[in-house]
Amino acid sequence: MEPVLLYDTTLRDGTQGENINFSAEDKIMIAQRLDEIGIHYIEGGWPGSNPRDKRFFDLAKSVQLKNARLAAFGSTRRPGVAPQNDSNVAALLESDTPVVTIFGKTWDLHVEKVMDNTLDENLAMIHETVSYLKEQDREVIYDAEHFFDGYKENPDYAMKTLAAAVEGGANIIVLCDTNGGTLPFDVEIASRTVVKTFNEKYAKLHTDGPIKIGIHTHNDSGLAVANSISAVQSGAVLIQGTINGYGERCGNADLNSIIPILCLKMNRSCISKTNLSRLKKLSRFVSETANIVPVNTRPFVGKSAFAHKGGIHVSAIMKEPRAYEHIEPNLVGNRRRVLVSDLSGKSNVEYKARELGINLGNNGFDSREIVSKVKEMEEEGYQFDIADGSFKILVEKFTQQFIPLFDLESFRVVIEKDKDQPCRAHATIKIAVDDIREITAAEGMGPVSALDNALRKALDQFYPDLDTMHLVDFKVRVIDGRDGTAAKVRVFIESRDQDEIWSTIGVSEDIIEASWQALADSFHYKLAKETGKESRS
C-alpha cells in the first residue's frame, strides 16, 4: 500500500495559534527536529507576509535537511496581476525552496463576496500561478482553501478550481477543511469523489506521475484527526498537520495522533519505528520551544495517555497491560504511569514503588499500610496522583529509606510594599548539610520566588548542578473555602531538568508553609537523583 506523506505546517499554520510565537532561530531548530524524525515536507512560513519568515528562509539556505523537503507558502497571484509581476510570488521564488505551496479560493462565496472577484478570474489566478511556478522548476503543492464548504454549496465550481491547478501542473492537490466544520463521512465522500475523478479524467494531463491528493483539516469540531484519517481511507496520500495540534482557533490536525494511527492502527508506513519512538520527545521539544505547558491528556504523547488510577485497572495491567492499553507506550516514546490516590489499592502502591525504584520487600512494611497512609493524607488535602515526587519521598520516609540531603533549620520571609512600588519579597534561610550550616538571603518576585532563590543560593555551596532544574508550573488551590482566609490550601509545583519532569505537593492552612513543603520535596527529589543516594528520613 502506498506510503502516506507527512506535511508539517507547525512553523506556519501552527504559529497562528494563540500564544504561539517562534523566532526565526526557533523555527530552524524545530525544522531540524522534524527532519530528524522523518517528516517528508516542512512548511517554513509565508515569506511575503513578514520579516521573520523571510529571515527563516535566509537562514534555512545554509541548513542541510536529510529527509524533508522545505516548502515556502503563499497565495496565488493577485487579480489582474501577472505571476511574474506579483511581489508575493516573487518572494516565494526568492526563498529558494524546492517546494512551493500556494493556496487559492475554492468556495464561490469567498471569490464573489469576500474578494469581489469573478469566478473565471479566480480560475485563471490558480492556473497561471501554478504554471509559472512549475516553469521555475519547483514542486508545486496546491491548497484548495475551503474546499469542503465550497464542494457542499457548489460542487461543479469547486472541482473546476482543482482542475485549474492540475492543468497548471500542480504535483499535489490538498483538500482543506479551513473552517473545521466538516464531518468525517462528508470528508470521506468528497475525498473519494476527487480521487476517482482526477485519477480517471485528468491523469493524462499530468506528466509527473499519478496525481496525489492531500488533506488539511482544522479542529473546530474536534474532528481534525478523524477527518484526516477519513481522507486517507478515501485515497488521500498526504496529510498536513502540526505538532501538538497548534494552530488558529481550535488548532490543526495533530500529527502526534495521526502518525501512530497510520503506523500502528492502519499499517500505513510514514516514518520508521525508531523515529516513532521519538514522538513524545518531539512533542515536548516543540511545546518547550513555544513556552507552552504540555497538555497531559494529549493522546499517545501526553503524560496521562497511559496513566492508570483505579485499583482494578492497575491489578489488570500488572497481569496483562493490553487489558487497559490500546498500544505499548514505548512505541511512541511514552511510558506507563500508575497513579496513587484515595482510589488506590495495594497494586497501585506496589507498582508505583517499583517504578520509582523503592524496595518495599525488605523493610517489614505492608503496602496496605502505605495505602492507608495515602488515603489518610488525601483526606487532609494531599493529592498524590499529580505529585509523583512527593509520593516517592513519602514512601521512603514511611519505610525509613529517606536520606535528607539538606535540613531546614529556619526561614524568614518579608514582604515590603512602598506606596508607589510593587511588592518586593526577601527571604532568609538557614539550612544544614552534613552538619555544616549555611545562612543565605535572596530576593524574589514574591515570597515563594524569594524562598526558591534563597534555597538555591544556599544549596549551591554544596550541590553546584542545580542550575539545570527549573520550575515549570506553580498552582494554589483552596481545599475548602468555608473557613475563609484560614482555609487549607494545596500548593502544586512542577519542576524539570534536562531529563524529566516531576511534581510535588504541600498542604497547610498557611500558603507559605504549603509552598515550602512542595518546594523542599522538589529539591530533595532532584538532589537524590543527582547524587545517586537512596533517600531516607
pLDDT tens-digit series, residues 58-99? 999 999 999 999 999 999 999 999 999 999 999 999 999 999
How far is the first Cα of the chain from the last one, in angstroms, to the nearest whole number?
A: 59
- Tell me the mean pLDDT in the region 411-432: 88
Which residue type occupies 451? L
pLDDT band at 446, cuts 50/70/90?
confident
Tell me, what's the pLDDT at 305?
94
How buried is residue 165: exposed, middle or buried, by Cβ count under 10 Å (0-12/13-18/19+)?
Answer: buried
Instruction: Give the domain extent around 451.
Output: 416-462
Judgement on whether residues 75 and 205 belong to the same structural domain of the protein: yes
pLDDT band at 236, cuts 50/70/90?
very high
Residue 225: give its domain's CATH number: 3.20.20.70
What is the share, in percent, of the chain residues with pLDDT greater than 70?
A: 93
Strands 424-433 and 436-444, by their bridges, are antiparallel
Tell me, what's the pLDDT at 140?
97
Give which of 94, 536, 486, 235 is closest to 358, Cα–Cα: 536
- pTM, two decimal places: 0.74
Here the cell at position 513 is 508553609
Query: Per the domain annotation, does 230 fall within a domain?
Result: yes
Contact 405, 537 (CB under 8 A): no
Indicate whether 372 pLDDT > 50.
yes
Q: Which of 430, 462, 494 is the last residue of a domain?
A: 462
* Distance separating alpha carbons of residues 271 and 4, to the nearest angstrom: 9
Judgement on whether residues 20 and 151 belong to the same structural domain of the protein: yes
Q: Which of 47-56, 60-69, 491-500 has the highest mean pLDDT?
A: 60-69
Q: Give 444's contacts (C-beta < 8 A, 6+ positions apart).
A: 425, 427, 450, 451, 452, 453, 454
Tell me, what's the pLDDT at 205?
58
CB atoms within 10 A of CB 25: 12
Contact 427, 447 (CB under 8 A): yes
Query: Per the domain annotation, does 16 fall within a domain?
Result: yes
What is the share, in percent, of the chain residues with pLDDT greater than 90?
A: 63
* Distance separating alpha carbons of residues 504 and 346, to the nearest angstrom: 22
Tell me, what's the pLDDT at 203?
62
Of the two residues 151 and 201, the one the predictor is more confident about is 151
Judgement on whether residues 55 and 184 belong to the same structural domain of the protein: yes
- Tell me the mean pLDDT in the region 245-268: 97
Q: Which of 380, 406, 425 is the last residue of a domain?
A: 380
Here the cell at position 357 is 525504584
CB atoms within 10 A of CB 452: 23
pLDDT band at 116, cuts 50/70/90?
very high
Indicate whether 441 pLDDT > 90.
yes
Judgement on whether residues 246 and 319 belong to the same structural domain of the protein: no
DSSP codes of every residue in 132-201: HHHHTT-EEEEEEETHHHHHHH-HHHHHHHHHHHHHHT-SEEEEEETTS---HHHHHHHHHHHHHHHHHT
Query: Per the domain annotation, does 151 fall within a domain?
Result: yes
Query: Nearest 5°: CA angle at 240, between 157 and 14?
Result: 110
Tell me, what's the pLDDT at 59?
95
Indicate whether 487 pLDDT > 80.
no
- Tell me the mean pLDDT in the region 499-515: 90
Phi, psi of 335 (to 5 degrees): -145, 155
Contact 352, 319 (CB under 8 A): no
Q: What is the pLDDT of residues 257-291, one digit of tens each?
A: 999 999 999 999 999 999 999 999 999 889 888 88
- Tell me the mean pLDDT in the region 477-500: 78
Judgement on whether residues 58 and 186 belong to the same structural domain of the protein: yes
Of the two residues 188 and 498, the one the predictor is more confident about is 188
Range with the poorest average pLDDT among 79-93, 138-152, 233-247, 447-461:
447-461
DSSP codes of every residue in 361-406: TTTT--HHHHHHHHHHHHHHT--GGG-HHHHHHHHHHHTT----S-
Q: Give 94's contacts (C-beta < 8 A, 6+ positions apart).
A: 47, 57
Judgement on whether residues 66 and 195 belong to the same structural domain of the protein: yes
Burial letters 43-52, b for 16+ CB under 10 A, else e: bbbbbbeeeb
Judgement on whether residues 230 and 359 belong to the same structural domain of the protein: no
Query: Per the domain annotation, does 266 fall within a domain?
Result: yes
pLDDT band at 118, cuts 50/70/90?
very high
Indicate whether 151 pLDDT > 70.
yes
Strands 172-177 and 139-145, by their bridges, are parallel
Tell me, what's the pLDDT at 204?
62
Q: What is the pLDDT of residues 318-336, one digit of tens each?
A: 788 888 899 999 999 998 8
Tell me, what's the pLDDT at 482?
60
Number of domains in the chain: 3
Which residue type occupies 509? E
Say what the alpha-carbon torsion angle 22, 24, 26, 31 is, to the nearest 10 degrees.
110
Query: Nearest 5°: CA angle at 187, between 264 and 155?
Result: 155
Of the two residues 49 and 433, the one the predictor is more confident about is 433
Here the cell at position 360 is 518495599
Indicate whether 535 pLDDT > 80.
no
pLDDT band at 537, cuts 50/70/90?
very low
Tell me, what's the pLDDT at 382?
82
Indicate whether 370 pLDDT > 60.
yes
Query: Nearest 5°: CA angle at 385, between 528 and 299?
Result: 105
Judgement on whether residues 15 and 137 belong to the same structural domain of the protein: yes
Query: Per the domain annotation, does 392 fall within a domain?
Result: no
pLDDT band at 424, cuts 50/70/90?
confident
Judgement on whether residues 236 and 316 belong to the same structural domain of the protein: no
Query: Per the domain annotation, does 75 fall within a domain?
Result: yes
pLDDT band at 314, cuts 50/70/90?
confident
Contact 225, 180 (CB under 8 A): no
Judgement on whether residues 364 and 215 belong to the same structural domain of the protein: no
Indicate whether 404 pLDDT > 60.
yes
Phi, psi of 286 (to 5 degrees): -65, -40
415 to each of 424, 475, 508, how far by Cα in Å? 6, 20, 20
Q: Which of 462, 496, 531 is the last residue of a domain?
A: 462
Judgement on whether residues 121 and 249 belong to the same structural domain of the protein: yes
Query: Per the domain annotation, does 110 fall within a domain?
Result: yes
Judgement on whether residues 343 and 437 belong to the same structural domain of the protein: no
Query: Per the domain annotation, does 439 fall within a domain?
Result: yes
- Tell me the mean pLDDT in the region 514-534: 84
In eight-state DSSP terms, residue 314 is H
3-class DSSP state of 330: helix
